[in-house]
Amino acid sequence: MLGEQIKTLRLIRNLSQIELAKYLGVSKQSVSNWENNNIQPSVDLLVKIACYFGCSTDFLLELDNTRHVIEVTNLTAQQISHIQQLVKDFESLNQQLNTQDKVL
């Protein structure tokens, strides 16, 4: 659920509810209510949350379960580039393996 996604992403970044609330311009109680699935954030806040955590709104709403979050906040641009290249290499390898499986 959305609340669990927000909480998980917040904890991955070692943020308190207060810190996240301050960034989003809402109260700590709002963040708590979202995480406990008592209320839902507005569409505008949902977009702001997605931008903050570097994910899609579909990911937050669990409509896109094929994507995973990798925390890169403390990495340099060069390190992030290396990670992106690794992902591309793995995708290419998977395509090759899938092609070989179809031949067999």
For the chain, the average pLDDT equals: 89
* 21-32 pLDDT, tens digit each: 999 999 999 999
Mean pLDDT, range 10-23, rounded to an integer: 94
Mean pLDDT, range 40-56, rounded to an integer: 93
Mean pLDDT, range 29-56, rounded to an integer: 94
CA angle 73, 20, 63 (to 5 degrees): 75
Fold annotation for 2-60: 434 Repressor (Amino-terminal Domain) (1.10.260)
Q: Rounded distance, CA 48 to CA 32, Å?
A: 17
